[in-house]
Amino acid sequence: MRNENRFIQFGEFTLKINLENFYIEPYILPGGEFPRGEFDPTYRGLLQNMNAAKSFKQNAIAWVTGETDKISQNVNEHDAVIVAATHLAEVVRDPKMVLVNSAW
């Protein structure tokens, strides 16, 4: 497989998915800014740097149902990536999860 990327939106964040390894990383931040510095895409790195961990479920529901106006205002790129990564990982393992998640 060639190194291909796909892009998805999470609120005001544009995330890049590498189709070779399924790693997700921030591509464009709110305001059109590009991320600076290193980004740790591991779950450990993401969890340590989340701003809105207490709003994870609310943000996941808002993203999956397309109600992006309900995504918390205090999310950062780590919050966006971990919500997208956990949900896309479920769908890769079992495509029926798209239907389960969208029925929240």
Query: What DSSP string describes the chain?
Result: ----EEEEEETTEEEEEETTT--EEEEE-GGGPPP-S----SHHHHHHH-S-GGGHHHHHHHHHTT-GGGS-TT--HHHHHHHHHHHHHHHHH-TTHHHHHHT-
Q: Whole-model pTM? A: 0.80
Low-confidence stretches of the chain (pLDDT beneath 70)? 1-3, 91, 93, 95-104
Q: What is the pLDDT of residue 5?
A: 92
Q: What is the pLDDT of residue 97?
A: 60
Q: What is the pLDDT of residue 64?
A: 83
Q: What is the pLDDT of residue 81?
A: 93
Q: What is the pLDDT of residue 103?
A: 46
